[in-house]
Structure 1
């Protein structure tokens, strides 16, 4: 008999796992807040347009069926099959006018995988990457391997433009890249040409590459001009991350790509690094890669135009309804699926912060949203704009009723300028369960 050291199992997760926290999924899976049983739940949380309102392009479905019928389900090159990479290169040229080669394209398992690869490739433990605030949960990938996230501000008073002075002030000797998200989540903002050019100038001055999160590329409302970071850069190397999730309404397909825009052969070493990292998982799904040329080439522009038009109508409806609610200040989006709403908490003294506000909204009105700390931006909550119109209107009516029940008019209270309140820790939240309806 072997010696028994201990009768108890003492197994612990690794530091990598302990530091890897997705605040959205954590809220979804560990909720202690329950909706009002007398009201059907309306969720404004998850940025999945396929839930109850939008559908995939039929041309994409046909391309997948054809690929499944023909595919042999073999191992493919880890950076993606030639036809898929060529299709992405053609897609980029058609949409942005940027000439690239198939060798500049890497096929990945979704846009999230694209970002993760870029982070792991560019930074070592203890080094940092600049990310915007508010922002998508980039820290989920950065903090596990001990890469530091340093945040730069977006200005809500200027349609969420990048605060250039603050961005530059965050750069130090350990900064390895600047991440730019355009069109943005959670703000639904599209950066101006001048704002992007200034960011590029800063990156060039400090010799920093740019990681461009372009998953919402071209998803701007009529009358808004979209500019890509890679399309405007002349000298700064850019890693552009995108995929099928949002514009093609195919989040569950899990296929994305990285496009390497290398102006001066600055990414020579980086390209070798991609080859090595890609050997960890042998590439994305083989059949979806086979279908990618058909998806990208055959999906008509009318599909994109119709999707954007429908989301714009939802966005305008939500904005116009919420702007008339006392105590809330919505910031009108100009693209993507989202709208950020400021809570004038001085008028809701019952709640200490936006987390308690959102929890009470769930408990009383069965309307669910993500509070600002999920995006590193307390004092706000995020609207998702892809639910059916009747549900969106009803959600706004319930929010109006909720605010009327709790609003306190303080005559002496001056209306505050939109600003970022003191940071709240996501880990201290009560978690809000998501219910798909």
Structure 2
């Protein structure tokens, strides 16, 4: 008999790597302990809109959940794909004239992460590939690779508002490709694609008969001068699965409620994908019934003025951050068009850092400012700033970043 135990883990548990969480919990753990604790930490790394109180929940959201809890009607099991009244409300809220929806086209999920997981599972087999934009929210990579799906990338072009490089997209397609992921508005880039550009992406998918997974969690979050257009609006023939959630639209990420919108062009999803979505939704018997039941009132009673106020706040922060960081030698910020993030390119050679992770770790230790490195988004030589901070904190963060860059600027030191 063996004297000690050694129980093997599953392949999925071994290969599953979430780049964002790895940076926060592994790469930067030591830096967090080494920083000057007498200086306030300014954490711009995580896209949690509740952290600073700058984007408060609308009272109608609180009233809706209290009403549901007090009713006592939603403490049990409901259909795994979602409460019918909730799916009807979601379908009505997100329907467009060019992309109508019914309750049968909605699957409720546990957060947008759950929607992402299910859409990838229903379309991709192990050994097939999924096309992701680069930079991209790192969870897409984690979900795919954990199940043996090959991740391939198409480039986004920073100098063109982070539009997709269509040649790169088409060049990445091969016989293994199962789906194209389009993230719009973008985390981490803050881009918002024009209607014409989305149509060009859809045309590539049409030529190769590939479905699109649209990560549209930032639905409607476009700054002035830009218009959010959902992928399904410009698709006549390409089938689309759209992922969304309450987390960013209504600023309640901890409520963990999302959805999949099924835009089934030409019945392409009818035979296998629709029933597959139903079967996959039954794995965990559906998301929280209390939040589901509150959602129809939330969709009805939260005014557009609330969302507009949030957008104006984020855009003011974006413009301020862009203006200040544009003056820092060695950094190139890219003004976002929406969402709640800004990407900044780093001239690593100028600062003599080997990687963006080395740069942000030193920044964290020396200035107590925490930004997310490009590594978390499958990109290099850049970092992401979250734009949810109060006015004084975002100004102070930019001031400290400028001080740090000046200290490490080898070009300035040689003059």
* Structure 1: 5+ residue stretches without partners: 414-437
Q: Is the 8 A contact 1:63 1:294 kept in 2?
A: yes
Task: Work out whether 1:89 is the aligned partner of 2:91.
Answer: yes
Task: Work out whether 1:332 is the aligned partner of 2:335.
Answer: yes
Q: Deviations over 1:81-120 (max 9, x none)?
A: 1100000011012x67632111000011110100100001
Q: TM-score, normalised by structure 1?
A: 0.91
Task: Work out whether 1:231 is the aligned partner of 2:233.
Answer: yes
- 2: CA distance between counterparts of 1:273 and 1:344? 47
Task: Work out whether 1:294 is the aligned partner of 2:297.
Answer: yes
Q: CA deviation at 1:373?
A: 0.9
The counterpart of 1:252, out of the listed 245, 254, 262, is 254
Q: Is the 8 A contact 1:240 1:258 kept in 2?
A: yes
Q: Which aligned pairs between 1:260-275 and structure 2 lie closer than 5 A?
A: 260-268=262-270, 269-275=272-278
Partner residue in 2 for 1:33: 31
The 3 A distance-change label for structure 1 pair 111 and 164 is same
Partner residue in 1 for 2:309: 306
Partner residue in 2 for 1:45: 45
Q: What is the DSSP-based 3-state SS (H/G/I as helix, E as strand, rest coil) of the residue aligned with 1:352?
A: coil
Partner residue in 2 for 1:108: 109
Q: CA deviation at 1:411?
A: 11
Q: CA deviation at 1:151?
A: 0.6
Q: Deviations over 1:382-437 (max 9, x none)?
A: 10100111000000000011011110217999xxxxxxxxxxxxxxxxxxxxxxxx
Partner residue in 2 for 1:422: none
Aligned length: 407
Task: Work out whether 1:131 is the aligned partner of 2:132.
Answer: yes
Q: CA deviation at 1:193?
A: 1.6
Task: Work out whether 1:168 is the aligned partner of 2:170.
Answer: yes
Q: Is the 8 A contact 1:347 1:410 kept in 2?
A: no
* Structure 2: 5+ residue stretches without partners: none
Partner residue in 1 for 2:369: 367
- 1: CA distance between counterparts of 2:67 and 2:38? 46
Q: What is the DSSP-based 3-state SS (H/G/I as helix, E as strand, rest coil) of the residue aligned with 2:30?
A: coil
Q: Is the 8 A contact 1:36 1:362 kept in 2?
A: no
Q: CA deviation at 1:54?
A: 1.3
Q: Is the 8 A contact 1:129 1:176 kept in 2?
A: yes
Q: What is the DSSP-based 3-state SS (H/G/I as helix, E as strand, rest coil) of the residue aligned with 1:55?
A: coil
Partner residue in 1 for 2:18: 22
Partner residue in 1 for 2:190: 188
- 2: CA distance between counterparts of 1:223 and 1:144? 39
Task: Work out whether 1:404 is the aligned partner of 2:387.
Answer: no
- 2: CA distance between counterparts of 1:130 and 1:378? 18
Q: CA deviation at 1:37?
A: 2.0
- 2: CA distance between counterparts of 1:124 and 1:374? 25
Moved over 6 A (4+): 410-413
Q: Is the 8 A contact 2:68 2:74 kept in 1?
A: no
Q: Is the 8 A contact 2:198 2:231 kept in 1?
A: yes
Structure having the higher helix fraction is 2
RMSD: 1.5
Q: Deviations over 1:224-272 (max 9, x none)?
A: 1111101111111000110101111010000000010012000011001
Q: What is the DSSP-based 3-state SS (H/G/I as helix, E as strand, rest coil) of the residue aligned with 1:378?
A: coil
Q: CA deviation at 1:6?
A: 0.8
Q: Deviations over 1:336-386 (max 9, x none)?
A: 11000001112112x112111111000000000111111111100010100
Task: Work out whether 1:9 is the aligned partner of 2:12.
Answer: no
Q: Is the 8 A contact 2:23 2:376 kept in 1?
A: no
Task: Work out whether 1:318 is the aligned partner of 2:321.
Answer: yes
Partner residue in 2 for 1:64: 65
Instruction: Give the stretch that moved more between structures: 381-390 or 69-78.
Output: 69-78
Q: What is the DSSP-based 3-state SS (H/G/I as helix, E as strand, rest coil) of the residue aligned with 2:46?
A: coil
